[in-house]
Amino acid sequence: MGGNYATETVRADGQGIARAARILRNGGLVAVPTETVYGLAARADSDAAVARIYEAKGRPSFNPLIVHVRDIGQAKELAQWSDGAAEAASRFWPGPLTLVLPRRPEALLAPAVTAGLPTVALRCPAHPVMQALLSQCDFPVAAPSANRSGFVSPTTAAHVRATLDGRIDLVLDAGEPCAQGLESTILAIRGSGAWEVLRPGPLTIEELGGVPSGAPSAGADAGIEAPGQIASHYAPGKPVRLNAEEVAADDFVIGFGAMAGDCTLSASGDLAEAARRLYQCLHEGAASGKPRIAVAPIPGEGIGIAINDRLRRAATPPGH
């Protein structure tokens, strides 16, 4: 047992990683740190293991999973590779970029991983713990965010335990928050070779070369082709008001720049710091005794696009 929790937590050292690999090999679930957020890992070639992910998270069956791979070689075993994919992977892997590509018909993946879609979402992560774990697995690893579906994403082991305690087998604790703090940028590689951003993330539109965005607007749950496109997501369980310049005494205020708050994303107005701290502040707001959360205006540029995307979804009531 780990502390007061039914789900055991161990250090993300060599011994802990080896144990996590054994659990995955046997069809279990392990929460693993990545450079983006903590992922809930299971072997992606097992129907039973993948079903456990959906059950533990309460995840809707139409929402596909991201498969984490060791390298480009493993990615080519699962997806039809193209020049567009090769260029993106050579520039940004390992790192916080997920590629949506046509799935190979012979790919050893449980059907539920792709939620019935003809495509598969692949990422080669940069975090040394996830990399070490993948090196010990002779199978692909599915790993959506390690939280109950629709709730605030986890950037620490404590965040994982808050919603998945007793529902998974193990948490690998890196001892520090995830470096990026936002889920990966998702890039679709179209048949023409064109790139299209399906979910903004740590890799910005500018870094990707100004590619167009095909992410659906809030309220458009139809046509999901990648994780993170559901309109209501990342929810703290209470109303969230965005672009708040005036606040009430009973608002939990998430500040930015000159606007201070109960929790501040970045007092200096640094958007990268704001991204790292976004989910921590939403977790604090959820745990506070105040009935509402008010968020300061965040510039809609650079990684601010991804921050505002997550905030809009957090502010959208379920069912909308």
pLDDT given at position 226 = 75
Q: What is the pLDDT of residues 9-60, one digit of tens each?
A: 999 999 999 999 999 999 999 999 999 999 999 999 999 999 999 999 999 8
pLDDT given at position 3 = 42
60's CB contacts (< 8 A; 6+ apart) are 149, 230
Token pair of 61 as six digits = 């069956």
pLDDT given at position 231 = 62
Decide if 150 contacts 233 (C-beta within 8 A).
Answer: yes
> What pTM does this model have?
0.92
Residues of the chain with pLDDT under 70: 1-5, 212-223, 229-232, 318-320
Q: How many angstroms from the chain centroid is the CA of residue 316?
A: 18
d(CA 176, CA 187): 28
pLDDT given at position 210 = 77
Mark 272-289 as b/e (b = at least 16 C-beta within 10 Å).
bbbbbbbbbbbbbbbebe
